[in-house]
A and B are shown apart, each in its own frame.
Chain A
Amino acid sequence: GAVVSQHPSRVICKSGTSVKIECRSLDFQATTMFWYRQFPKKSLMLMATSNEGSKATYEQGVEKDKFLINHASLTLSTLTVTSAHPEDSSFYICSARRTNLWETQYFGPGTRLLVL
């Protein structure tokens, strides 16, 4: 099956610092990549959609200057949480879609971010 990796799997940082999370599709080229955030006992919430070589489309309420997304190639997207604060602590999950069909969306294992 298709594999999507994320790095790091866990990160602890101090308030005010920036954190970069990488998402890679290891065995396929992704037409589109997505970034989600999941709080405990809450729904998986879409943050943004990105296509290679173009600007990401952010969901309403997501600060684009705080959550910087770069989709430099068909296999790599990065999410940078800038000036992180404790309320940004969450589980961040990326996904990559191999075709335009949602059945071909594969999720990464997630990154647990803790901001102290």
Chain B
Amino acid sequence: EDQVTQSPEALRLQEGESSSLNCSYTVSGLRGLFWYRQDPGKGPEFLFTLYSAGEEKEKERLKATLTKKESFLHITAPKPEDSATYLCAVHLTQGGSEKLVFGKGTKLTVNP
């Protein structure tokens, strides 16, 4: 069965303390991996798409990387405004239709 697992479930960092979030997947027919940011009571906001192993993308303090079985979201020198839940999702074809399958997310808290 297709599965997307994110770890850790929650992460607390001090401002400036770099770290990484993990998204591992066991899916067949992967067509892309997405990272989103979700603030409390809001819908997800698109961050990155990765398509092939070895691919990397950066945006400000965030960098996403992809291997054949997992993706990492690296956060360099985070700030309190980076506090949010980060979701990963895999784009796959299932039962003849395309869909995004989401992980449960990692709740990041950055303390000043």
Contacts and interface: CB of A to CB of B under 8 A. Distances in A.
Contact of A103 (B46, B98, B105): B46
Given A41-B104, A102-B32, A108-B43, A49 B97 contact: yes
In this complex, the interface size class of chain B, counting residues with CB under 8 Å from chain A, is 20 to 34
Interface string A77-101: 0000000000000000101000000
Contacts of B34: 102-103
Given A43-B4, A109-B41, A109-B42, A102 B100 contact: yes
Interface in B85-112: 87, 89, 91, 95, 97-105
B104 A43 contact: yes
Interface in A36-64: 41-46, 49, 57, 59-60
Given A43-B4, A109-B41, A112-B41, A103 B49 contact: yes
B16 interface: no
B4 A44 contact: no
Contacts, number: 49
Given A43-B4, A43-B102, A4 B46 contact: no
A52 B43 CA distance: 22
Interface of A: 4, 41-46, 49, 57, 59-60, 93, 95, 102-103, 105-110, 112
Interface of B: 4, 9, 32, 34, 41-46, 49, 87, 89, 91, 95, 97-105
Given A57-B97, A110-B41, 10 more contacts: A43-B102, A45-B102, A49-B99, A59-B99, A95-B43, A102-B100, A103-B46, A107-B44, A107-B45, A109-B43
Interface SS of chain B:
strand
Nearest to B97: A57
Contact of A46 (B99, B103, B105): B99
A116 B55 CA distance: 48
A103 B43 CA distance: 15
Contacts of B4: 43
Nearest to A103: B49
A44 B99 contact: no
B29 to A, nearest CB: 14
